[in-house]
Amino acid sequence: MESALITGGAGFIGSNLALELERRHPDIRVTIIDDFRSGEFSNLVGFRGDLVAQDLASLDLLSRFRLGEFQVVFHLASITDTTVTDARQMIWDNVEGFRRVAEFARLSGTPLIYASSAAVYGVCHLGRMQEDQPACPANVYGFSKTLLENLARRYADSSRDCRIVGLRYFNVYGPGEAHKGVAASMIYQLARQIRAGRRPRIFKYGEQARDFVYVKDVVEATLLAADANHGGVYNVGSGRPTSFNEVIALLNKALETDHNPDYFDNPYPFYQPHTEADVTRARAELGYASKYPIDRGIAEYVKQLMETDMKQPDVHEQ
C-alpha cells in the first residue's frame, strides 16, 4: 500500500489505524482529515504523514485532492458521543461528511471503508446481532449510522466499480481514547475510578453486557476490509458479551485492587442492555478473528494506562 486517506485520523480508532499503517508500510503516504473537535494531536505523535484540519461536511474533496490520489479511503470521522441529542448537528456531521467522501471515492474508483456502529441494532435485537437483521436505532447516533449504510448501498448499486465496506464497530476500548472524556469506553472510565481509589459506578445491577472489542482487533478488521474484493457490511466485535460486573472483576485483578461496584439508576431510555456481535460473516469473508479476549485486552490496556500515567509530570513539579 502506497497511499491512504483517513478521515477522523486524529481520533481514537483513526489514530491507531494511521500509526499501524505507517508501521506496516514504512513508505506509505497517509493523509488525515480531522477538524479536532473530537480528535487529539497527541494521539499522532510520531505520525509521518500530512494532515488537513477542516470540517469534512463542508470540505470540497474534489478541489483539494486529485482523483485516484489514494489507493484506499478510510472514513472514520463522526460525532461518536451517543448521548448527543441534537439531531440536526449529528446528521449534518455524520451523513453529509460521508456523502462527500463517498462521492469522491465513487468518482475516483477508490475503495471506501467506513465506520458504522452496533448502535444500528438499538434495543430491538438483544441476542446475537447479525448483519441481516433490520436496523432499529434507539438514538440519533445509531440513526445517523443507518443513513450511512443506506447511502453506501445506493452508491454501490449505482456503480459496479464502487467497492464500499461498512464495519459495525461494537464497544471499542484501548489506547488513544482518553481525550474523549465522558464519551470514552466504560472500561477506561472504570479503570480511572478504581485507580483513583473510588468505587466504580455502574447502572443497577451490573448485569448489562457489552461486546467489548480491543482497538487492535478493530484496526486489524479495518485493514482486512481494505483487501476485500467486494463490498458489504460486517460486524466487528469480539463475539462475546461481558457484563459490567465481570469488567470490574477483571480490572480489580489487573490493578491488584478490590473495589466493589457503586450501583445507580440508569437515566437513559435508549440504553442498550446487551450487545453481542455475530462475527461469522466477517470471519468467512474478511478473515477476521479477534485476538484479544477481554481478559487479555484489559490486562494490556491497564498496563499501558499505568505506563502513560508514570510518564506524566507530577502536578507539584509543573
DSSP output for 97-125: HHHHHHHHHHHHT--EEEEEEGGGGTTT-
Angle of the 244-255 helix axis to the 294-311 helix axis, nearest 10: 50
The CATH number of the domain where 21 resides is what? 3.40.50.720
pLDDT at 318: 23
Indicate if 78 and 195 belong to the same structural domain: no
Q: Could you identify the residue written with the cell 474533496?
A: 61
Report residue 81 as a C-alpha cell.
Answer: 458521543
In this prediction, what percent of the chain has a pLDDT beyond 70? 97
Is-contact 234 269, C-beta < 8 A?
A: no
Indicate if 109 and 161 belong to the same structural domain: yes
Residue 309 has pLDDT above 70, yes or no: no
pLDDT at 316: 28
Q: Give mean pLDDT, residues 56-68.
A: 94
pLDDT tens readout for residues 191-244: 999 999 999 999 999 999 999 999 999 999 999 999 998 999 999 999 999 999
Q: Give mean pLDDT, residues 124-148.
A: 93
Catalytic residue check, 303 = no
pLDDT tens readout for residues 155-174: 988 877 789 999 999 999 99
**Catalytic residue from among 180, 188, 288, 292:** 180
The CATH number of the domain where 301 resides is what? 3.90.25.10
Q: Give mean pLDDT, residues 279-287.
A: 98
Mapping DSSP to helix (H, G, I), strand (E, B) and coil, where does residue 156 land? helix
The C-alpha angle 15, 80, 182, rounded to 5 degrees, equals 90
Is position 285 within any domain? Answer: no
Catalytic residue check, 114 = no
**Catalytic residue from among 114, 121, 141, 188:** 141
Indicate if 83 and 156 belong to the same structural domain: yes
pLDDT at 310: 44
Give the residue numbers spanning the domain of 110. 3-172+214-236
Is position 317 within any domain? Answer: no
